[in-house]
Structure 1
Amino acid sequence: MSDLSRHLPLSARPRVDESGVSGDWRTAVADVVASAAALEPTSAAAAARFLAVAGLDREFAGLPLAEVATAVRTGSRRRIRVLADALRALLELAGDRAVAIPPVIGGAVALYASTRMPFERRAALSGTAVHATDAEWTFGRGPVREAPAREILDFVLGLSDTPPPAPTR
């Protein structure tokens, strides 16, 4: 029986320290809010819209975004859903402006959002792997669809109707 277990997918992995793995995304959410603050929203309405889309308006209505970032960083645990909402709000606020998105945040949100998007969007990516050409993340299986991370995130977060280009055969 012990010989068989060596060939099972999970038992053959090399041992690594996983003590730092957590489901708490508060630091990442705080980084996204800080990025929004750095964009200097042109009005209080733009900042309020960011907080509403990010789902943070009930807790932090009326506060400057820099203070919200600090409060989130030192506050309670945040789930990946909150990170996805915050990143969507950041991309919406940024519009055509470039925004630096760390690969860990972009990849985690892309994977999470790809499982939550409407059926039509999931069908567009079905049976393919999606690879960010400017970041180190890929999700899915099959022929590879490649696009910049921002374009992939725009599609999976519902900000664009254009999926990553289909693989050429």
Structure 2
Amino acid sequence: MDFAKYLPLSQRRPADEVNVTGDRRAEIAAVVREAHRLILSAPEGERDARARTFAANAGLAMPAPPADSADALPASADAIESGDRRKIAELERVVEAALRLSDALGLNAEIAPLTYGAVAMYASTTAPFDRRAAISGHSVVAVDGDWRLGQGPELHGTAEGIVRFLTGLSDVPPRPPAR
């Protein structure tokens, strides 16, 4: 008897998975480019300091002074995109740094919902215990993205809000849907 057909994953519809990868270079580069866009909105005298802070928080190497740090970000993004493979932990760090930057500038970071989803999935396993406990046993649904994680009763939040909660940038957890 073939027991495999009774396993939950064996019955899903086949899909093209040729582009599925653990390499996060493209997403990291996109977030670095977004950070550069955010930095350009800062007063000119603050841009290099903001770029250095972002790079330090993101774990990125930047040129030594007196080089313009803000102007180095697009080249850094290009190098990341064409360089060695990058892991999800690096993506989480860069997204968190971009969110900190957006908070400091009072702007909204424009990060792809699926990038937030990847970071949320990773953070749901590495976040402090109290944050993991808040979503444990639930299906966390991004109301503005095409993703969900976990199983159980639904908790809703924006993709950014879920990531902010799991990374400790916000104390507002995803909530049950309004009735």
What TM-score does the superposition give when structure 1 sets the normalisation length? 0.89
Identify the residue that residue 53 of structure 2 maps to in structure 1: 49
Indicate whether 1:120 and 2:120 are aligned.
Answer: no
Task: Give the AA of the match of 1:49.
Answer: T
Identify the residue that residue 93 of structure 2 maps to in structure 1: 85
Deviation of 1:15 after TM superposition, in Å, equals 2.7
Task: Give the AA of the match of 1:135.
Answer: G
After superposition, the CA RMSD in angstroms is: 1.8
Identify the residue that residue 5 of structure 1 maps to in structure 2: 4
* Long gaps (5+) in structure 1: none
Asked whether the equivalents of residues 129 and 144 of structure 1 are also in contact (C-alpha less than 8 Å), the reply is yes
Deviation of 1:27 after TM superposition, in Å, equals 0.7
SS at match of 2:34: helix
The aligned runs of 1:15-30 (5 Å cut-off) are 15-30=14-29
Q: 2:168 aligns with which of 151, 158, 165?
A: 158
The superposition leaves residues 47-94 of structure 1 with CA deviations (integer Å, 9 ceiling, x where unpaired) of 11111111113xx34442111111111111100111110000111101
Indicate whether 1:147 and 2:157 are aligned.
Answer: yes
Query: How many angstroms apart in 2 are the aligned matches of 1:160 and 1:13?
Result: 36
SS at match of 2:8: coil
Indicate whether 1:66 and 2:66 are aligned.
Answer: no
Q: Could you tell me the percent identity over the aligned residues? A: 43
Asked whether the equivalents of residues 23 and 80 of structure 1 are also in contact (C-alpha less than 8 Å), the reply is yes
The number of aligned residues is 166
Query: How many angstroms apart in 2 are the aligned matches of 1:165 and 1:18?
Result: 32
* Long gaps (5+) in structure 2: none
Asked whether the equivalents of residues 37 and 65 of structure 1 are also in contact (C-alpha less than 8 Å), the reply is yes
Higher helix proportion, which one?
2
Asked whether the equivalents of residues 26 and 78 of structure 1 are also in contact (C-alpha less than 8 Å), the reply is yes
Query: How many angstroms apart in 2 are the aligned matches of 1:153 and 1:61?
Result: 30
